[in-house]
Chains A and B, each alone.
Chain A
Amino acid sequence: MKNEVLRTVVVSTCFLAAFWISIFLLGPIQKYFLGDLPNYLSLLFLPHGVRLLAAWIYRAKSILYIFPGALLAHLSSNGLDAVIELPTLTTLVGSTVGIVGIFAVEAVSGTRINALTSMAQWKYLLIAGGIASLVNSILTSLIYGTDVIQGVGYLIGDISGQFFLMLILVFVFRIERRIS
């Protein structure tokens, strides 16, 4: 039980941090170049990487680990009153799509991604991220009642966000290796 709580805290904190970086740090840069985009649409949505990595490591349990972070992220940008509004459902969708993408890739490939010993794991994870993003974009667009173009925006943001988060981690571990 203690481990479950710890994992929830760690994964949710990572999600929340990635969300805040995407919205409050990268958001203004995006706004400068592209102007206002609706519903906090980020074209570099780093939390999608947290979703996929958590789902890759913790499988279906990742839903529970991500959800508190996703809910807090949503409330931090929409206010506490938003908890009773329909778009809050996007937090549940966002917490679930990671493992959906991984299950889809595993169903097609016939093997568990983390059972692969080749150099292919990270590519499979990116494909799973693409599928997860597609599901997320469709459902989020339905919940917000938005159009296809915005759905494509979510898709671009999720995929690029996952790739860049993994790239950032590559350099973090590289620096850590050099220091140690």
Chain B
Amino acid sequence: MSSLKAISQLRVLLRDMECELGLSDLSDVERDLLSAAAEVSLTTGTLKTADLMAHQLTSSVPRASFFRALRVLDLKGYLISDTELGKGWYRLNPDLNM
């Protein structure tokens, strides 16, 4: 395993631990949205707001809460607006190594 991959795996492991111990700086909705984003990104390679809203982790979240969480994840640098694809498109911050 390369050193970069090792550090990446370690970061994911510790982030999971942080979330499950309730030490995360994200709310439940933000955490669910981030998990949904990670999964959608794996499947489609991109992140479209509509796909995120349709995900089973976020589909029951009220619209206002969803967009508030989206804005927080954007502000905290977890998600980055994809200006090339247009409004409503995001990508995961590659520095997070999720």
Query: A interface vs B, CB < 8 Å?
Result: 3, 6-7, 53, 56-58, 114, 119, 121-122, 125, 166-167, 169-170, 173-174, 177, 180
Residues on A with C-beta less than 8 A from B10 are 53, 57, 169
Q: Are B6 and A166 in contact (CB under 8 A)?
A: no
Q: Are A125 and B13 in contact (CB under 8 A)?
A: yes
Tell yes or no: B95 within 8 A of A by CB: yes
B13 to chain A, nearest CB (A): 5
The SS class assigned to the A binding surface is: helix
Also in contact, A170 and B1, with CB within 8 A (given A57-B6, A180-B95)? no
Residues on A with C-beta less than 8 A from B12 are 121
Tell yes or no: B15 within 8 A of A by CB: yes
Tell yes or no: B75 within 8 A of A by CB: no
Which residue of the partner chain B has the closest CB to A122?
B17
Residues on A with C-beta less than 8 A from B3 are 3, 6-7
Tell yes or no: B59 within 8 A of A by CB: no
B96 to chain A, nearest CB (A): 8
Q: Are B9 and A174 in contact (CB under 8 A)?
A: no
Which residue of the partner chain B has the closest CB to A7?
B3
Q: Are A173 and B9 in contact (CB under 8 A)?
A: no
Most A CB atoms within 10 A — which of B11, B14, B23?
A: B14
Tell yes or no: B28 within 8 A of A by CB: no
Which residue of the partner chain A has the closest CB to B12?
A121
> In the complex the two chains form, what is the Cα distance from A3 to B21 in whole Å?
34
Residues on B with C-beta less than 8 A from A56 are 13
> In the complex the two chains form, what is the Cα distance from A73 to B16 in whole Å?
31
Cross-chain contact of A122 among B6, B13, B25 (Cβ < 8 A):
B13
> In the complex the two chains form, what is the Cα distance from A56 to B7 in whole Å?
12
> In the complex the two chains form, what is the Cα distance from A122 to B13 in whole Å?
6
Q: Are B13 and A121 in contact (CB under 8 A)?
A: yes
Tell yes or no: B19 within 8 A of A by CB: yes
> In the complex the two chains form, what is the Cα distance from A133 to B10 in whole Å?
21
Residues on B with C-beta less than 8 A from A125 are 13
Name the 5 nearest CB pairs between A and B, nearest first.
Answer: A122-B17, A119-B16, A57-B6, A170-B18, A170-B14
Q: Are A57 and B18 in contact (CB under 8 A)?
A: no
Q: Are A173 and B20 in contact (CB under 8 A)?
A: no
Listed by A's residue number, 22 A-B pairs whose Cβ atoms lie within 8 Å are: A3-B3, A6-B3, A57-B6, A58-B6, A114-B9, A119-B19, A121-B13, A121-B16, A122-B13, A122-B16, A125-B13, A169-B10, A169-B14, A170-B14, A170-B18, A170-B21, A170-B23, A173-B11, A173-B14, A173-B15, A174-B23, A180-B95
